[in-house]
Amino acid sequence: MEIAEELAKHQKAISVAEFFEKNRQILGFDSAPRALITTVKEAVDNSLDACEEADILPDIFVQILRRGEGFRVVVEDNGPGIVGGEVPRVFAKLLYGSRFHALKQSRGQQGIGISAGVLYSQLTTGRPTAVTTKIGPTHRAGRWELMINTATNEPEVLKTEETEWDRPHGTRVELEMEGSYVRSRRQSIYGYLKNVAIVNPHARITLVEPDGNVEVFERATDKMPSPSYEIKPHPLGMELGGLIKMLRYTDKKKLKSFLAGSFSSVGAIISQEICDRAELDPEMAPQDLTHSEATRLLAAFKEMRLKSPPTDCLSPIGEELIRAGLEKEYRVDFIATTKRPVSVYAGNPFQVEVGLAYGGELKGDGKVEVLRFANRVPLLYQQGGCAITHAIENVSWKIYSLSQPGGGVPVGPAALLVHIASTNIPFTSESKDAVADVPEIVAEVELGLKEVGRKLRRYISKKSALSERKEKEEIIRKILPRISKKLSELLAREEPDINPVVAKIMGNLLVKRSVASENGLALVTLEVANYGDASKAFKLHETVSVEAEAVEPPARVIALGDGYDHLWKISLRPGERQQIRYTVPSEGVRFSEPVVEGVASELVSGARVVG
Amino acid sequence: MEIAEELAKHQKAISVAEFFEKNRQILGFDSAPRALITTVKEAVDNSLDACEEADILPDIFVQILRRGEGFRVVVEDNGPGIVGGEVPRVFAKLLYGSRFHALKQSRGQQGIGISAGVLYSQLTTGRPTAVTTKIGPTHRAGRWELMINTATNEPEVLKTEETEWDRPHGTRVELEMEGSYVRSRRQSIYGYLKNVAIVNPHARITLVEPDGNVEVFERATDKMPSPSYEIKPHPLGMELGGLIKMLRYTDKKKLKSFLAGSFSSVGAIISQEICDRAELDPEMAPQDLTHSEATRLLAAFKEMRLKSPPTDCLSPIGEELIRAGLEKEYRVDFIATTKRPVSVYAGNPFQVEVGLAYGGELKGDGKVEVLRFANRVPLLYQQGGCAITHAIENVSWKIYSLSQPGGGVPVGPAALLVHIASTNIPFTSESKDAVADVPEIVAEVELGLKEVGRKLRRYISKKSALSERKEKEEIIRKILPRISKKLSELLAREEPDINPVVAKIMGNLLVKRSVASENGLALVTLEVANYGDASKAFKLHETVSVEAEAVEPPARVIALGDGYDHLWKISLRPGERQQIRYTVPSEGVRFSEPVVEGVASELVSGARVVG
- Work out the mean pLDDT of chain B and round it to a whole number: 89
Tell me the per-residue pLDDT of B25-67, one tens digit each, with 9 for 90 and over.
Answer: 999 998 899 999 999 999 999 999 999 999 999 999 999 999 9
> Which residues on A lie below 8 Å from B406 (Cβ)?
366-367, 405-406, 408-409, 411
Report the percent of chain A where pLDDT is more than 70.
94
| pLDDT value at A479 more than 70 | no
Question: CB–CB of A241 and B126 under 8 A?
Answer: yes
Q: Considering only A102-106, A570-574, B17-21, which range has the smallest mean pLDDT? A: A102-106
| Closest partner CB to B135 (pick from A4, A426, A433) | A4
Closest to A243 in 3D by CA, of A225, A219, A217, A266: A266
Reduced to 3 states, what is the DSSP secondary structure of residue A3? helix
- Enumerate the β-bridge partners of residue A123: none
Reduced to 3 states, what is the DSSP secondary structure of residue A138? coil
Closest to B422 in 3D by CA, of B407, B403, B401, B436: B436
Question: CB–CB of A96 and B31 under 8 A?
Answer: no
What pLDDT band is residue A104 in, cutting at 50, 70 and 90? confident
Measured in angstroms, the CA of A396 and the nearest CA of chain B are apart by: 15
What pLDDT band is residue A134 in, cutting at 50, 70 and 90? very high
Interface of B with A in 505-544 (CB under 8 A): none
Question: CB–CB of B436 and A25 under 8 A?
Answer: yes
Using a CB–CB cutoff of 8 Å, tell me whether B50 touches chain A: yes
- Single-letter code of the amino acid located at B266: V
Q: Considering only A259-263, A597-601, B414-418, which range has the smallest mean pLDDT? A: A597-601
DSSP B438: -
Using a CB–CB cutoff of 8 Å, tell me whether B2 touches chain A: yes
For testing contact with chain A, the best of B106, B382, B386, B432 (most A CBs within 10 A): B382
Closest to A529 in 3D by CA, of A551, A512, A515, A517: A512
Q: What is the average pLDDT across A249-257? A: 94
pLDDT score for A166? 92
Question: CB–CB of A245 and B23 under 8 A?
Answer: no
End-to-end CA distance of chain B: 91
To the question of whether residue B112 is assigned a binding role by annotation, the answer is yes
Contacts of A226 (CB under 8 A, 6+ apart): A312, A315
| Three-state helix/strand/coil letters over B145-189 | EEEEECCCCEEEEEEEEEECCCCCCEEEEEEEECCCCCCCCCCCH
Using a CB–CB cutoff of 8 Å, tell me whether B12 touches chain A: yes
Tell me the per-residue pLDDT of A442-455, one tens digit each, with 9 for 90 and over.
Answer: 999 999 999 999 99
What pLDDT band is residue A483 in, cutting at 50, 70 and 90? low
What pLDDT band is residue A488 in, cutting at 50, 70 and 90? low
pLDDT score for A39? 97
Higher local confidence (pLDDT), B6 or B179: B179
pLDDT score for B490? 62
| Predicted TM-score of the model (pTM) | 0.76
> Which residues on A lie below 8 Å from B30 (Cβ)?
426, 436-438
**Cα A601 from Cα A509, distance rounded (Å):** 10
Q: What is the average pLDDT across A105-111? A: 82
Question: CB–CB of A25 and B405 under 8 A?
Answer: no
Report the percent of chain B where pLDDT is more than 70.
94
pLDDT score for A496? 66
- DSSP per-residue string spanning B323-334: HHHHHHH---SE
pLDDT score for B134? 96
| pLDDT value at B506 more than 90 | no
> Which residues on B lie below 8 Å from A428 (Cβ)?
25-26, 382, 385, 428-429, 431, 433
Higher local confidence (pLDDT), A421 or B330: A421
Q: What is the average pLDDT across A480-484? A: 66
Tell me the per-residue pLDDT of B72-108, one tens digit each, with 9 for 90 and over.
Answer: 999 999 999 999 999 999 999 999 988 887 778 888 8
| Closest partner CB to B80 (pick from A3, A240, A436) | A3
pLDDT score for B528? 92
| pLDDT value at A116 more than 80 | yes
Using a CB–CB cutoff of 8 Å, tell me whether B244 touches chain A: yes
What pLDDT band is residue B121 in, cutting at 50, 70 and 90? very high
What pLDDT band is residue B216 in, cutting at 50, 70 and 90? very high
Using a CB–CB cutoff of 8 Å, tell me whether B182 touches chain A: no
Measured in angstroms, the CA of A16 and the nearest CA of chain B are apart by: 7
Q: Considering only A409-423, B346-360, B499-513, B586-600, which range has the smallest mean pLDDT? A: B499-513
| Closest partner CB to A98 (pick from B12, B100, B240) | B12
- Single-letter code of the amino acid located at B411: V
pLDDT score for A501? 67
DSSP H or E segment with residue B216: strand B214-217
**Cα A380 from Cα B442, distance rounded (Å):** 19
Q: Note whether A102 and B24 are within 8 A (CB).
A: no
DSSP H or E segment with residue A416: strand A414-422
| Closest partner CB to B126 (pick from A85, A96, A244) | A244
| pLDDT value at B128 more than 80 | yes
Contacts of B52 (CB under 8 A, 6+ apart): B58, B224, B225, B227
Q: Note whether A435 and A426 are within 8 A (CB).
A: yes
For chain A, domains (ranges, CATH) are: 16-217 (3.30.565.10), 235-303 (1.10.8.50), 319-460 (3.30.230.10), 499-610 (2.60.40.2960)
What pLDDT band is residue A477 in, cutting at 50, 70 and 90? low
Q: What is the average pLDDT across B314-337? A: 88
Using a CB–CB cutoff of 8 Å, tell me whether A392 touches chain B: no
CA A457 from chain centre, in angstroms, equals: 21
**Cα A224 from Cα B529, distance rounded (Å):** 90
- The residue of chain B nearest to residue A411, with distances taken between CA atoms, is B406
Higher local confidence (pLDDT), A449 or B477: A449
Residues of A at the annotated binding site for ATP?
46, 77, 98-99, 108-115, 432
Interface of B with A in 426-465 (CB under 8 A): 426-431, 433-434, 436-439
Instruction: Name the range with the highest mean pLDDT among A75-89, A181-195, A520-534, B17-31.
Output: A75-89
β-pairing, A59-67 with A204-208?
parallel
Measured in angstroms, the CA of B275 and the nearest CA of chain A are apart by: 20
> Which residues on A lie below 8 Å from B29 (Cβ)?
none
Measured in angstroms, the CA of A349 and the nearest CA of chain B are apart by: 14
Higher local confidence (pLDDT), B487 or A3: A3
Tell me the per-residue pLDDT of A413-425, one tens digit each, with 9 for 90 and over.
Answer: 999 999 999 999 9
- Single-letter code of the amino acid located at B6: E
To the question of whether residue B46 is assigned a binding role by annotation, the answer is yes
Using a CB–CB cutoff of 8 Å, tell me whether A599 touches chain B: no
Tell me the per-residue pLDDT of A160-173, one tens digit each, with 9 for 90 and over.
Answer: 999 999 999 999 99
Q: Note whether B13 and A96 are within 8 A (CB).
A: yes
Interface of A with B in 288-317 (CB under 8 A): 291, 294-295
For testing contact with chain B, the best of A99, A348, A429 (most B CBs within 10 A): A429
For testing contact with chain A, the best of B6, B9, B12 (most A CBs within 10 A): B12
| pLDDT value at A114 more than 90 | yes
> Which residues on A lie below 8 Å from B50 (Cβ)?
7
Give the sign of the dihedral formed by CA B299, CA B302, CA B305, CA B311: positive
| pLDDT value at B474 more than 70 | no
Tell me the per-residue pLDDT of A260-283, one tens digit each, with 9 for 90 and over.
Answer: 999 988 999 999 999 999 999 999
Tell me the per-residue pLDDT of A310-355, one tens digit each, with 9 for 90 and over.
Answer: 888 898 998 988 888 888 778 888 999 999 999 888 888 999 999 9
Q: What is the average pLDDT across A46-51? A: 94
pLDDT score for B486? 66
> Which residues on A lie below 8 Å from B139 (Cβ)?
2
pLDDT score for A476? 65
